[in-house]
């Protein structure tokens, strides 16, 4: 009986399976696709800087927008780095202005103390702002916007102090305030109108009296809406009826 012939053995494949070639081609195409997308885009350095700052709370500086074309040709390669900002050293003029502003505050304090005006005037300083309160009774009769004759002497002295330290002053805002007791007269329909008129009257007096240029004065009224006391007692209401001088330093201390 004839012997059964054996089938020839299939040769074993060498290297990676055939499907790996297809997979590698696909990955290469995907990578090429994303490289192409990047080549058409640019990074907005300003927006990137704002984004980083919002998360880190630290000032980041973006040197300049990334240009993929320049990177391709090896012209430059910039990155966004967190660099500490050098502190700005004050100039001699800055230091003199700040010193004068401190002297202005002290001068007002001394004038109030020396002339026993604590019941009428109060002054405080917060950084680059001096706040001078003057009670309405020191300036006006109740419900009126005409400066009392004896109050003009007080305002004239204040104006002279401002003029003496003019170089240290950036702006003087004159603000009128009232208590919360309603007013309705033929001249003033409400407290807001009264406070605005009083502030304007004081503003006009300072424009005529002070040597500081008019553009550095402004006037506004807030009525009863910016109280500094509760309005629950007559003493608190008297504190709220006032004219404020908000004096800003020429050199902001930001």
Handedness of CA 105, 108, 110, 112 (dihedral sign): negative
pLDDT, position 3: 52
CATH of domain 92-249: 3.30.1330.60
Q: Are 174 and 244 in contact (CB under 8 A)?
A: yes
Farthest-apart Cα atoms in the chain, separation: 147
| Residue ranges, CATH 3.30.1330.60, the chain | 92-249
Tens digit of each residue's pLDDT (9 = 90 or more) over 171-201: 999 999 999 999 999 999 999 999 999 999 9
Tens digit of each residue's pLDDT (9 = 90 or more) over 3-34: 555 555 555 556 566 667 777 778 787 777 76
């Amino acid at each position: 009986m004839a012997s059964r012939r054996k089938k020839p053995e299939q040769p074993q494949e060498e290297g990676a399976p055939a499907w790996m070639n297809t997979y590698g081609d696909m990955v290469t195409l995907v990578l090429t696709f994303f490289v192409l997308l990047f080549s058409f885009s640019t990074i907005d350095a300003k927006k990137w800087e704002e984004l980083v700052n919002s998360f880190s709370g630290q000032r980041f500086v973006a040197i300049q927008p990334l240009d993929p074309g320049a990177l391709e040709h090896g012209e430059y390669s910039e990155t966004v780095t967190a660099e500490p900002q050098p502190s700005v050293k004050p100039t001699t003029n800055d230091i003199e202005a700040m010193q004068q502003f401190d002297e202005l505050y002290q001068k007002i304090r001394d004038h109030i103390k020396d002339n026993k005006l604590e019941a009428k005037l109060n002054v405080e300083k917060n950084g680059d702002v001096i706040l001078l309160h003057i009670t309405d009774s020191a300036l006006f009769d109740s419900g009126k916007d005409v400066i009392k004759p004896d109050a003009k002497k007080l305002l004239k002295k204040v104006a002279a102090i401002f003029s003496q330290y003019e170089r240290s002053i950036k702006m003087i805002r004159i603000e009128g305030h009232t208590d919360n007791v309603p007013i309705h007269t033929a001249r003033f329909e409400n407290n807001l109108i009264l406070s605005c008129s009083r502030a304007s009257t004081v503003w006009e007096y300072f424009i005529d009296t002070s040597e500081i240029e008019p553009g550095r004065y402004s006037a506004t009224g807030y009525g009863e809406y910016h109280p500094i006391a509760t309005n629950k007692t007559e003493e608190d209401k008297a504190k709220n009826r006032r004219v404020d001088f908000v004096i800003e330093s020429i050199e902001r201390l930001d």
